[in-house]
Amino acid sequence: MMKKSLIAIGIVAMLLLATLPLAAASSSNVRRFLPSGDQAAGSTITVYLNVTVDPVTSTYYAIDEFVPAGWIITDASDDGDYTSDPGHVRWVVINGAVDKTYSYRVLVPGDAGGAHFFTGIFQMEGMEDSAAIGCDTRVRLGELAEDVPLSVGWNFVSVSYTLADPGFSYVIRDLPVDAVLGYDAINRTWEHSMDLVWMPRKEYWVHATEACFIPAERLAKAPLSNSGKKQ
């Protein structure tokens, strides 16, 4: 008799457990997407944060994103707060959370180089603790350009990359330079103009009336074009 009673109690307990709601595994997540390839010191890059919300477990969340030390956030989408705490950008959704892509722009210091890392955390409804923002974390900056010395007379100059501002009128402004020559391989003629555009891997001759330097900041590499936010 006791055995039958224990079996009956066990069956009732199993039925009761089956009626209780189970805690669903949350699919909520935040992923960061950074520009690919080497970036240029002194340039501005755009960062995207893709938010995936589990509609079953999450209706609100908070995000706190940190940029590398010394980098300056210049703007953020969707009223992201980037002024209260320098180096941070934050978003808070208090109800009705849905999948969303945020973006912000950050200015790279002109003297930066090497690899730099982004970090950040988020927490959504149903999470006991905050979690790290995933996906991309590192931006690598190309080697810093160096001053280019010009001696009196004609100087051969060339660069292997696309300049952020390639006009010679910018590159040599205020310098004691009175002539720039570039060879037009298509028409097989020499171009003589201070308004030439400095193209990568093309040879130019620059005539200086005094010894001087082309400042490194005028030789910054152009940032890679951003194809748009990633989904």
**Of the candidates 49, 14, 12, 44, which has an alpha carbon nearest to the alpha carbon of residue 29?**
49
**pLDDT value of position 223:** 66
| 206, 198 Cβ separation under 8 angstroms | no
Q: What is the mean pLDDT of residues 28-36?
A: 91
pLDDT tens digits for 148-179?
Answer: 999 999 999 988 788 888 999 999 999 999 99
What are the tokens at 92? Answer: 């808070």
C-alpha 231/C-alpha 220 separation (Å) is 30
Q: What is the mean pLDDT of residues 82-102?
A: 96
**pLDDT value of position 75:** 96
Q: How many CB atoms lie within 10 A of CB 99?
A: 12
pLDDT tens digits for 178-224?
Answer: 999 998 888 888 999 999 999 988 889 999 999 999 988 888 877 65
**In sequence order, what are the beta bridge partners of 63?**
91, 122
Show the domains of the chain with their CATH numbers: 29-141 (2.60.40.740), 148-219 (no CATH)
**pLDDT value of position 56:** 87
Q: What is the pTM of this model?
A: 0.56
The alpha carbon dihedral of 137, 43, 143, 82 has a sign of negative
